Structure 1
Amino acid sequence: MPTRARAAVLVLAGLTLAACGNVHPGAAAVVDDQTISMKTLDTTAKAYCALALASAQSQGATLPSNAEVRRQTVTTLVSLVVARKLAKDEGVTPRPAEYELTTDQQDQVAKSFAKAKNLDEIKKLIEQGQQLSAIAVALAEKSTGQARTQENISQLAAAGQAEITKAFKDNDVKFAPRFGLSNKTAKTVAATGSLSVAPTDLGEDKPDQLPPAQRCD
């Protein structure tokens, strides 16, 4: 798997930004007046599963559960919406060359996922993860006055992600209750299947009962 693709997986997996609230049926989350549909979540989660599986196999790591993959996916989608707004407001929108896959990288991804039927979605998700990371670094560069270097880029990325998290409140982020995410702690407050989350929102998290788009295998 390409190095940049692995990095994108780590960026996506490391994001635990979250919020909660009431959203209309069929929505996974809402950012201001922009809705992220469950259909979009399902499609993206399937691509996330492919990346997570490849990463787990190459690093000998444990594959995250279906519920965790879907939480990470929805937080990534929401984070990107918020990040793009912040980048525009702060005048630090990254150039496409900073996050788009080159032709050679696209070929590498195609070889790594030769059997995948959702290759375009996998490529799109890698680029989204890289765009999110690029925005986080750019935001931190502006707020700290520090230019990125090999030594400080991880710290800048973390600082920028913190700015994105902080902006969730101002952007009226709301997640569907089924994800068990809180905007007060930015952490998971209820596991899928927990009694503290409405059963009608949660459903069962059993792989053999989930539609294909929701399985991470």
Structure 2
Amino acid sequence: MTPRVKQLAIVVALSATGLLSACGGAQPGVAAQVGDQTITVSEVNRIAEGYCKAYERQLEGEGTAIPMSIITSNVVQTLSMTAAAEQLADDYDVTPSVTYAAALANLEQTVTSLEKDAADARVELERSIDYVTDVLTLVGRLELEKDGITDASSDDALAKGQDALDIWLAKNEPEIDPQYGLALVEMQPETRDTSTSFAVSDLALQGAAEELDPAYARSLPESQRCG
């Protein structure tokens, strides 16, 4: 998988460091409820379609396809993670640093050749790692300063900020529609089959497999795949 294709699974890196926890089920039409922020199914679909559009030509050129279900699941997790970080930032009265502002400006510059919907989707998703890392580092420094530590490394501050986010998530446990296949296991997100339906055909079982078969992805109807 090329670096650009890997960006379609951007949330994997975030999940590996425990930046989001998720479980439960949201109300009809709601993809996720994170604290006081609501993420709608229509919003998820709009961003997923725009993100696919941003990379579709490249994927087609490489003969690669990705099921839209993977993209929508990643969109839900990324938006939920960002929503949690935004509310944590509000609680601590912190705003993103100039480092994040510079990274965002650079990202916005790289998408100027795309159509607006595709550009907006890329920015919304790909800014998340920088945003969450920045906010957690700032929050972590505030927490460490309470203990009299004023010269903490960025890694130590980030780890402390992660602790603060874990506490916030424990008090504001996200509710995510089961259709997106996300489950909470010991306060860490894992991809699980949380749907109420069962895969019975060979094709459906391939779709549920942990290791995606490229041939399966390309065999999906156009509306169900990207590329």
What TM-score results when the alignment is normalised by the length of structure 2?
A: 0.63
Identity score, percent: 22
Check the 8 A contact 1:18/1:181 in 2, yes or no. no
Q: Secondary structure at the match of 2:165?
A: helix
- State the Cα distance separating 1:158 from its structure 2 match: 5.1
The CA deviation string for residues 159-206 of structure 1, in whole angstroms up to 9 with x for no partner, is: 534532442231231011122322343232523xxxx63018xxx657
Q: C-alpha distance in 2, partners of 1:123/1:95?
A: 17
Q: C-alpha distance in 2, partners of 1:40/1:210?
A: 20
Q: Which has the larger radius of gyration?
A: 2
1:215 paired residue number: 225
Task: Tell me the C-alpha RMSD between the 2 structures.
Answer: 4.2
- State the Cα distance separating 1:96 from its structure 2 match: 7.0
Matches within 5 A, 1:1-217: 12-16=11-15, 17-49=20-52, 66-95=68-97, 98-99=100-101, 101-102=104-105, 106-111=108-113, 114=114, 118-145=118-145, 152-154=153-155, 156-157=157-158, 159-185=160-186, 186-188=188-190, 190-191=192-193, 197-199=195-197, 208-209=220-221, 211=223, 215-217=225-227
Q: Secondary structure at the match of 2:46?
A: helix
> Unaligned stretches of 5+ in structure 1?
none
2:212 paired residue number: none
Number of equivalences: 195
The CA deviation string for residues 5-41 of structure 1, in whole angstroms up to 9 with x for no partner, is: 9xx9896431222322131111111123432111111
Q: Structure 1 residue runs of 4+, over 6 Å off?
A: 8-11, 50-56, 146-149
Check the 8 A contact 2:9/2:71 in 1, yes or no. no
Q: C-alpha distance in 2, partners of 1:158/1:54?
A: 38
Check the 8 A contact 2:140/2:157 in 1, yes or no. yes
AA partner of residue 226 (structure 2):
C
